[in-house]
Amino acid sequence: MQEVNQAKLSKFVDKDKFTYALNTLDTEKLFSTSKELNEEINILESNTDLVNIRESIEIFKSPFDLESKSQIIKSTDLLRSVAQVKFADEIRYKILINNIFVGWTSSKDVNIRLPEIVSIENVDYFCYVKRNKRRILWKDLPTIEEARVVGKIWDYRYLIVKVTKEAYLSTDQVYVHIQIDSKDLGWIEKSVLNPINSNLMLRKMKNHLSNRNRLRTLNNRTLETVYEEGFARIIALPSNDPWKSALTKDYEKEDINIINGKILKYTMKIQKSERLVLSSLGSK
């Protein structure tokens, strides 16, 4: 490309005046195109307005950077988050200022401005669930801080769902309430659904047949996912404990009993269903 530019501009600029610069448009930062990256660090898509707590906010180049630079926020600036990830005791937001990506900021500098419900309409149509690993299925509309999460819509990919309600929010987002076999699943952004415009009965029969094993476990589906944090004192762990491999290098992995009696911070993911509660526990 450098040689092409030199040839076109040689009439106007001396050859020794040309230099080479890297492309500064980083599409990876703008659009998080790397699925592997997003899965490893658990970045979640978001589409929420933010409001700054103070006149200036700290901007980080990446979600886990410790160094930052301050940026003054004008009263007319519009702040928006397009992704978020938990980092230590804060949330890092991938932030757009006036629709221009500037970096990542901290929940210590901004608050989420929750959308308001403009209207809710009763509807009746069917759709396919698209293949999406990051969009969230909500038990409640995400218009209140206490809104509960079911889980990822990924668990219902390719299935046909019935849409019973459409909720229009002040952010111009449209959420829909979905069902499968008259069982309420929750609320999801309409953009993750593909409408069915023809041959509904045939498509439903084929979809039910090809996904019969997944549909058979529908009664035992996750109804709500809760994340908890706290501190626990380790009394004793068996020598064959499966979490041995999760210990950090600060501990001798050959002797897991070294942590007995210590107080560790833990995080717990609890998935509630109609019949049981599944939990996964890890230490920090």
pLDDT of 141 above 90? yes
Residue 174 CA neighbour count, 13 Å, CB half:
11
17 within some domain? no
Least confident segment among 10-14, 79-83, 218-222: 10-14
Which amino acid would we find at residue 86? K
Structural domain span for residue 276: 224-283
SS3 state of residue 173? coil
Task: Give the C-alpha separation, 115 to 125, whole Å.
Answer: 25
What CATH number does residue 58 fall under? 2.30.30.170
Question: pTM surpassing 0.75?
Answer: no
Considering its fold, how many domains does the chain have in total? 3
Among the three residues 63, 98, 113, which one is the final residue of a domain in this structure? Answer: 113
Output phi, psi for 17, to 5 deg.
-90, -10
For residue 281, pLDDT beyond 60: no
Is 100 a domain residue? yes
The answer to whether residue 96 sits within a structural domain is yes
Is 182 a member of any domain?
Answer: yes
Residue 6 lies in a domain: no
Residue 9 within a domain: no
Task: Name which residue leads in pLDDT, 44 or 122.
Answer: 122
Q: How far apart are CA 204 and CA 187, in angstroms?
A: 21
- Structural domain includes residue 20: no
Q: Looking at per-residue confidence, does 267 or 106 come out higher?
A: 106
Band (pLDDT 50/70/90 cuts) for residue 16 is low
Question: Is residue 125 in a domain?
Answer: yes
The answer on 109 and 38 residing in a single domain is: yes
